[in-house]
Structure 1
């Protein structure tokens, strides 16, 4: 037996040395992570991936090591379903976490009952995720589009100069874009000068920019999935002389903000959940930022912070669960209140929406470089759950 153990250990060391994938050990608790590390949403997915990796480092539940297995969805719903099936059926994941894209998250959720595994999204914001398509298997640890729209409405009440503007909506022609566009248009007093929808993967935005120029718009709302398309639009719009205020509803990853440089300064957000710049006042964020920067050489975007916090919530629920059967984990997720780097995360049992708040924020140039960053999201006023929540009866969720 000793020889067998030594042989197994030697094989594991050899695999690590050669960079070969290692199977989860018999005592490992497997967590499946699904997100886009390639394709148009890769900046978002890779930010999340690094957050999950830090959260999982050295993590245990009930004395069992936690092993994450990460699968790239490329933000494609059909691919996301295949990867979820692989994680559950082959890798024996007890729970899935990630869900960068709303379309992918909804596609995986449609198979949740068959897969019989709880799912946590730390990013997907389409209202339907915990609304019309809510399910007992699916949980969301971040605000949804309707909540973000409420936060933006509050921001505009405090900034009447923004409410007075004529907004042009640029949106992606899929679940997130349509959901976000619809919720923004419902803000009381908002004036919409026009809109332009384009598919994910659009590199040339000149036709949409021509529509903006032909309208009476003097502000732009970006109902765009966070990825390469968004930076392409902002850079092209600025190059065409559109120096209007731009609102990204929940901000953009800081890696993209650095890439935009001066073109990103002045962007506003009404529903940003967190910023690495909180490191000045929040010791938990400070420790995370230092660890993230040490591992990756850049500052974490808010998606990385959300991923880390969502993983903390998941670990707390798994620790509280009496066993790892799906029904038991679901009950634990519904009952857990976890202390995370973004504050307490607790789920509303009726629709599995996290009862969390957000912040008004503005992208500012830093007086001096910090952690390799020259631009950062400065958080302004906090917006609480009670201010931005959508009542359960108005969510579209017909029950779990």
Structure 2
């Protein structure tokens, strides 16, 4: 958890643009900019089992703001970031309310926990402020819990499942196979399990057993013993954050050889497990090896600044700020309703992939390509970062981007007034 307390004036004192930003990351709320700047709140977990992902998010949004400001800002105004650790749903909701009501931010960017994102969404809808969700996957956030002032650069669970599902079908790991689920015991995991069960039923796989895994679990021995006894055809992860890293490390230690697949993933978790422990097939919304000019520029800038490549959570927050800067530039201001209408009309954005992205009007999901990555065999890793191979973009170039997204029948969104 962030330590230290500064009075409000002190938290507003540092100008984003040089190296000063990194020096103040330990503070509970961090502001960079000037009084005439456009304030953007960044709210994401930096502690707990999602903390490692949150650090990538913070670094990436700082880089994006620096680049926007160096290019002249938004209609001549600088971006000012107010950075907070969301910690848990209650804290996240309270901080979102403070950012909007007291700090008058133009929008909030961030979050990883689906439960916390729901709380933030309820705040911004009530306050008629913008929220760009960069890490919460739950289909419910685009369905039963959708809000008109919330947009999603993160992919929904259906997109993750359908992306890696193509690889499972290709490799004969679905039809007629017995799956064992490990599911994170909170909103994200439950939603992902629901979507994954639907895919299994549609494609002839049997969910033979499932373990609900507490978010603070570090010892997977009971789960691994159950897997050994059950002898599934595929071990399926519906886990999140450090749960995946801990599982991968211990799975290798137990010497289990059942194929592993995940329906949700972040590349930082593979790096955390290490090249010798990472295995299986996993879906990602983006990765640092994508061969496009935008990705190469982003990876080069991020690596030079932070001495490590960005992972997919970094991508989401970086793109979110760039998208908001474009939207504010095009609408000539920060009026939330004008930006909502601009995004709903199908504006296109460079999202560092082979195709541009746009937000789907009916649920505000960013429509885009995704990827399935497969761990390289032990000993074939190029370095500590390049430890997987990637599928081509999914959907393919001749397919609609809608091909992997939830259909209206699978996930219905009705925006509230």
**Contact kept? 1:203, 1:232, Cα under 8 Å:** yes
Q: Say if 2:294 is the partner of 1:284.
A: yes
Residue 255 to residue 297, structure 1, CA distance change in 2 (3 Å): farther
The offset of 1:374, in angstroms, is 4.6
1:1-40 CA distance string (max 9 Å, x none): xxxxxxxxxx868xx5985855642211011111011111
Which position in structure 1 is the counterpart of 2:116? Answer: 104
The offset of 1:276, in angstroms, is 0.8
Which position in structure 2 is the counterpart of 1:214? Answer: 229
Residue 171 to residue 255, structure 1, CA distance change in 2 (3 Å): closer
Match of 2:243 among 204, 209, 229: 229
TM-score by length of 2: 0.85
Tell me how far apart the structure 1 counterparts of residues 186 and 295 of structure 2 sit (CA, whole Å).
Answer: 33
Residue 239 to residue 274, structure 1, CA distance change in 2 (3 Å): same
Q: Say if 2:255 is the partner of 1:241.
A: yes
Which position in structure 1 is the counterpart of 2:5? Answer: none
The offset of 1:142, in angstroms, is 2.7
Tell me how far apart the structure 2 counterparts of residues 117 and 94 of structure 1 sit (CA, whole Å).
Answer: 7
The offset of 1:393, in angstroms, is 4.3
TM-score by length of 1: 0.88
Tell me how far apart the structure 2 counterparts of residues 290 and 23 of structure 1 sit (CA, whole Å).
Answer: 24
Count of residues in Structure 1 that have an aligned counterpart in Structure 2: 382
Q: What are the equivalent positions in structure 2 for 1:78-89 lying under 5 Å apart?
A: 78-89=90-101
Task: Say which is worse superposed, 150-159 or 341-350, in terms of deviation.
Answer: 150-159
Task: Name structure 2 gaps, 5 residues minimum.
Answer: 1-12, 396-400
Structure 1 SS opposite 2:357: strand
Which position in structure 1 is the counterpart of 2:349? Answer: 338
Task: Name structure 1 gaps, 5 residues minimum.
Answer: 1-10
1:202-223 CA distance string (max 9 Å, x none): 1112222222222131321111
Q: Say if 2:412 is the partner of 1:396.
A: yes
Tell me how far apart the structure 2 counterparts of residues 114 and 378 of structure 1 sit (CA, whole Å).
Answer: 44
The offset of 1:318, in angstroms, is 1.6
Superposition misfits of 4+ residues, deviation over 6 angstroms: none
Q: Say if 2:390 is the partner of 1:379.
A: yes
Structure 2 SS opposite 1:139: strand
Which position in structure 2 is the counterpart of 1:54? Answer: 63
The offset of 1:306, in angstroms, is 2.3
Tell me how far apart the structure 2 counterparts of residues 255 and 298 of structure 1 sit (CA, whole Å).
Answer: 14
**Contact kept? 1:322, 1:328, Cα under 8 Å:** no
1:63-119 CA distance string (max 9 Å, x none): 111111111012x10011112122212322110111211111011112223332111
1:106-135 CA distance string (max 9 Å, x none): 111122233321111122110011111111
Q: Say if 2:41 is the partner of 1:29.
A: no
Residue 135 to residue 368, structure 1, CA distance change in 2 (3 Å): closer
Task: Say which is worse superposed, 21-30 or 308-317, in terms of deviation.
Answer: 21-30
Greater share of strand: 1
Match of 2:212 among 197, 206, 217: 197
Tell me how far apart the structure 1 counterparts of residues 56 and 267 of structure 2 sit (CA, whole Å).
Answer: 8
Match of 2:280 among 267, 274, 293: 267
**Contact kept? 1:143, 1:357, Cα under 8 Å:** no
